[in-house]
Amino acid sequence: MQLCKKIVAAFFLSILPALSFTSCMKNNGQSSGHVNSDYPLAVQAFVVLSDDPDQFETTLEKAHELGVNELQLSHSIVMNVDEINQDPKKMDMVENYAELAHEAGLDVYIWAHELNNAGLSVCFNPKDPVWEKRASAYRTALGELPDVDGVVLMFGSSKPDPWYAPCTCDYCEARKNEADDQSLWMFQVPPADERVELITRVVHSVVVGELGLKLIVRTFIHQPQENEWVKDGLLAANNIDFAVMSKDVPQDWEPYYPPHPLFGVYSDRKHLMELDGAGEYCGQTILPFCAVQYFERRFIYGASKGIAGYAARISRGDKTVFGNPNEVNLLAASMFSKNFQVTSEQVWANFISSRYGLDPESNAGIALKQALERTFDIGRKMYYFKGFWALEKGSGLPDTLLKAKLLDERSLAKWDPDYQDWYEEMKNPDVQTLIDLRQEKAEALELSDFSVKDVEQACPKLRPEDCKDLEYRLEHQNLCLKAWTEVGELVWGYSYWQKSKDQAALGWLSDSLSSFESIAGQIESAGFGWPCEPEKIRSLASELRDALGELPPRSKRKQLFISPPTIQVTGNQVVVDFETDSPAMTWIEWGKKVPTYGNDIQISEQAGTSHHVKFNVGSRGWFVLRACAKSEDSKQLVHGSDYWFVVR
């Protein structure tokens, strides 16, 4: 039976190459507008991270509802083919899930990292026995998994990553003069792109060549240079059949990162866009992170680069997207992939009606939509600092307040040089930095307060269980946001004090620490826990108090605040309104991207508290703006944070 399945698979692969990896390429268009499409994207996939059988059953049901046609089994299920060969229970689980998915009409892929199980030192001679060993690992694993249709191959976060595997064999040593640095020749010969090509060809030879299955190469990496290596390695593998999959952003889920630079590079291959539906680094579905407009922007860009499908993550660990507000992200991906003319407003109308049973045009429906739509801005302004992913690789509180430990490793400036000046500022903060960070969090908190109130307005029309769930999530987010507000003040306030020894900063830190500890009590009283546990807040505060020693009395740093702007778009005209808490001169900056913006509009040279401006944009597409203010005496400047809007 197994042999028959392989023969049938190989037959269909041979007579239907267009359905394999070259069909459904989109017409190139401008990233500022939708690309017309009369048919859905070829691949609409879920990336399944959890091995929980109940979650998997729900996944199959939701896949049917949303028109998903592919599952990728990953993380807790499988990350390397060697796991399958070494663990019979793992093999049985993978085959069971693959069989269930096939019965539901879904194609099934397994994830696999390379290099894996090849040792720390690897000979890159194509004739070395290590490559037959790697080929055999795939041959053995897939030979026992008749319901698996293909493999998702990747290089980043492998053991080791191929470009960090030293080679000292005779074959490589004979080429050592090719290395840029002779002292590091064992890492540079053969070059990284050649290593990527070799691994891709070895895996392809078994997966596609021998077994007639499919191969997707996932471009997950950690540094810009690695991206170039993967790009060149896959371009060199130009005469074999595989698809490519890239996250919507380079490296990892960071909503301020630019679009992935490899979209549009492989014009002759199917290219899939990987999306995070569950908010892995923004609350992991415990806190809502409804990224509908963000997904629309990414799909517009992907369509302009000819994407042929998407793969959306649906959980992180046991925290699934199903049954909570983040499920709207999967609906958005489904609707956008079926018709590029769909708008975020249509997605929201569908979700408010189908998930919560409300008329989307009723007062309750509008209130609920507003409450959930804001959570994307709330989440990103909560976890990121002027766009920088600086503190924690995760949704939980950081491990320390004594330094921004990820600021260098995950610097936004690595991927967008326009952020270099902001990066230098975050490395060497001054009082202006503290003002702008507090402003950013204050805007998020005001948005969060609005959302809590909007859910209260919608609750009388909601099912009691939905009302209770939404109140829990938004109130939880509100308190976590208050904690993260003080985290920002403490991390960069401490950094500023270390460099400046400004004694006033000790009073500000004293005030922020007391507020931070008070929030721990509020979270505890509300019965909330992760991702902002009271005990961790107290531990972080204690560590910082020990580092600072005796502190002066609390002294609150005074500053001007700007409200979140309201943005209304009619045709090409944009109307912006916002408030300042004291008289100020104001202006807005707007354009196509943060942080450069590109356009300034002075609102008034006379100080006031209510601010209103109209302006026209010259084209359709997505734009971003921020409000800025200077105090009446011109002694204080405040930069607001960014907001995206669309002109259709």
How large is the average pLDDT for residues 65-86? 97
Contact 165, 196 (CB under 8 A): no
Q: Is the pLDDT of residue 501 over 60?
A: yes
Query: 185 Cβ partners below 8 Å, 6+ apart?
Result: 172, 173, 176, 178, 179
Q: Is the pLDDT of residue 625 over 90?
A: yes
Give residue-wise pLDDT tens across range 394-408. 999 999 999 999 999
Percent residues over pLDDT 70 in the chain: 94
**Same domain (yes/no): 478, 396:** yes
Q: Is the pLDDT of residue 2 over 50?
A: no
Helices 327-338 & 53-66 angle (0-180, nearest 10): 40
Burial of 403 (0-12, 13-18, 19+ CB in 10 A): middle
CATH code of 612's domain: 2.60.40.2450
| Residue 569, both tokens | 């778009």
Give the separation between CA 561 and CA 628, rounded to whole angstroms.
10
Percent residues over pLDDT 90 in the chain: 91
Q: Is the pLDDT of residue 12 over 70?
A: no
- Is 66 within the bounds of a domain? yes
What are the φ and ψ backbone dihedral angles of 89, each rounded to 5 degrees? -65, -40
Smallest Cα–Cα separation from 343: which of 565, 566, 569? 569
Q: Is the pLDDT of residue 451 over 70?
A: yes
- Is 561 within the bounds of a domain? no
- Is 360 within the bounds of a domain? no
Domain boundary among 495, 515, 548: 548
Beta strand segments in 5-162, E? 43-48, 70-73, 107-113, 150-154
Query: Domain of 638?
Result: 566-647
Smallest Cα–Cα separation from 300: which of 494, 526, 29? 29
Question: Do the bridges between strand 271-276 and strand 309-313 make them parallel or antiparallel, or are there none, so unpaired?
Answer: parallel
Query: 209 Cβ partners below 8 Å, 6+ apart?
Result: none
**Same domain (yes/no): 404, 346:** no
**Same domain (yes/no): 507, 403:** yes
- Is 277 within the bounds of a domain? yes
Can you name the residues that pair with 590 across neighbouring β-strands?
A: 599, 625
Q: Which of 23 and 609 is assigned the larger pLDDT?
A: 609
Q: Is the pLDDT of residue 78 over 50?
A: yes
**Same domain (yes/no): 407, 272:** no
- Is 557 within the bounds of a domain? no
**pLDDT bucket at 589, cuts 50 / 70 / 90:** very high
Which pLDDT score, from 0 to 100, does residue 7 have? 34
Q: Is the pLDDT of residue 188 over 90?
A: yes
Q: Is the pLDDT of residue 9 over 70?
A: no
**pLDDT bucket at 39, cuts 50 / 70 / 90:** low
- Is 327 within the bounds of a domain? yes
| Residue 151, both tokens | 């493999």
Which pLDDT score, from 0 to 100, does residue 468 have? 98
Q: What angle do CA 35, 37, 40 make, to 5 degrees?
A: 125
**Same domain (yes/no): 542, 583:** no
For 542, other C-beta atoms within 10 Å of its C-beta total 12
Which pLDDT score, from 0 to 100, does residue 34 have? 37
Q: Is the pLDDT of residue 26 over 50?
A: no
**Same domain (yes/no): 337, 369:** no
Q: Is the pLDDT of residue 605 over 80?
A: no
**Same domain (yes/no): 7, 101:** yes
**Same domain (yes/no): 264, 410:** no
- Is 559 within the bounds of a domain? no
Domain boundary among 321, 355, 389: 355
**Same domain (yes/no): 258, 387:** no
**Same domain (yes/no): 213, 319:** yes
**Into how many domains does the chain fold?**
3
How large is the average pLDDT for residues 196-205? 98
Query: 614 Cβ partners below 8 Å, 6+ apart?
Result: 573, 574, 575, 576
Which pLDDT score, from 0 to 100, does residue 249 have? 97
**pLDDT bucket at 37, cuts 50 / 70 / 90:** very low
Which pLDDT score, from 0 to 100, does residue 606 have? 86
Long-range contacts of 323-327 (CB under 8 A, 24+ apart): 323/58, 324/285, 324/288, 324/469, 324/473, 325/288, 325/290, 325/372, 325/375, 325/470, 325/473, 326/277, 326/278, 326/279, 326/285, 326/288, 326/289, 326/290, 327/351, 327/355
Domain boundary among 515, 548, 581: 548
| Residue 17, both tokens | 């190459």
Which pLDDT score, from 0 to 100, does residue 20 have? 31
**Same domain (yes/no): 533, 571:** no
**Same domain (yes/no): 160, 243:** yes
Contact 392, 399 (CB under 8 A): yes
Give residue-wise pLDDT tens across range 509-560. 999 999 999 999 999 999 999 999 999 999 999 999 999 999 999 999 999 9
| Residue 427, both tokens | 């490395």
Q: What is the mean pLDDT of the chain?
A: 93
Query: 99 Cβ partners below 8 Å, 6+ apart?
Result: 147
Task: Provide the residue count of the chain.
Answer: 648
Report the half-sphere exposure of 199 (CA within 13 A, side-chain side). Answer: 33
| Residue 32, both tokens | 């500022």
Q: Is the pLDDT of residue 36 over 80?
A: no
Q: How many helices (H) and strands (E) does the chain have?
A: 19, 16
- CA dist 579 to 20, 145, 282, 522, Å? 55, 62, 28, 29
- Is 450 within the bounds of a domain? yes
Which pLDDT score, from 0 to 100, does residue 170 have? 94
Which pLDDT score, from 0 to 100, does residue 15 have? 30
The DSSP code for 79 is: S
